[in-house]
Amino acid sequence: MPTAAQPTLQYEDAQVRVTRWDFEPGTATGHHLHSHDYVVVPVADGRVRALTLDGGGTDSVLKAGQSDARPAGGAHDVVNIGDAPLAFVEIELKHTAPVAPPVQGGRQ
């Protein structure tokens, strides 16, 4: 399992949570569920792989300043697969209804 990327909470109130993620090569966020809609704003160029619990993965190229909005409900572990450090700011929009995690071993 990759070592941990470093989150830094930059701001939080009733509407938003802003976290900067800093990744050395090979580091990862750890598996997590996005409970709210969110926007990712890369601070540095890089390449990441989003790994799902079922073993699937999607590679993405990040370009500094090119934002990407995503809906709530995504679950993944994000890994820096590039050769250089990278960073992005994640802005979670708390006004959206939270998404509950899936029930393990039961019905949803």
pLDDT digits (tens, 9 = 90+) for 25-52: 999 999 999 999 999 999 999 999 999 9
pLDDT digits (tens, 9 = 90+) for 49-105: 999 988 899 999 999 999 999 999 989 999 999 999 999 999 999 986 666 666 555
93, two tokens? 């929009």
CA-closest candidate to residue 1, choices 64, 105, 79: 79
CA-closest candidate to residue 22, choices 88, 92, 77: 88
Q: Which residues contact 15 (CB under 8 A, 6 or more apart)?
A: 93, 94, 95
For the chain, what are the domain ranges? 6-93
CA-closest candidate to residue 91, choices 19, 2, 15: 19
CA triple 39-56-89, angle to 5 deg: 20
Measured between alpha carbons, how far is 69 from 83 in angstroms, rounded to an integer?
Answer: 25
CATH superfamily of 6-93: Jelly Rolls (2.60.120.10)
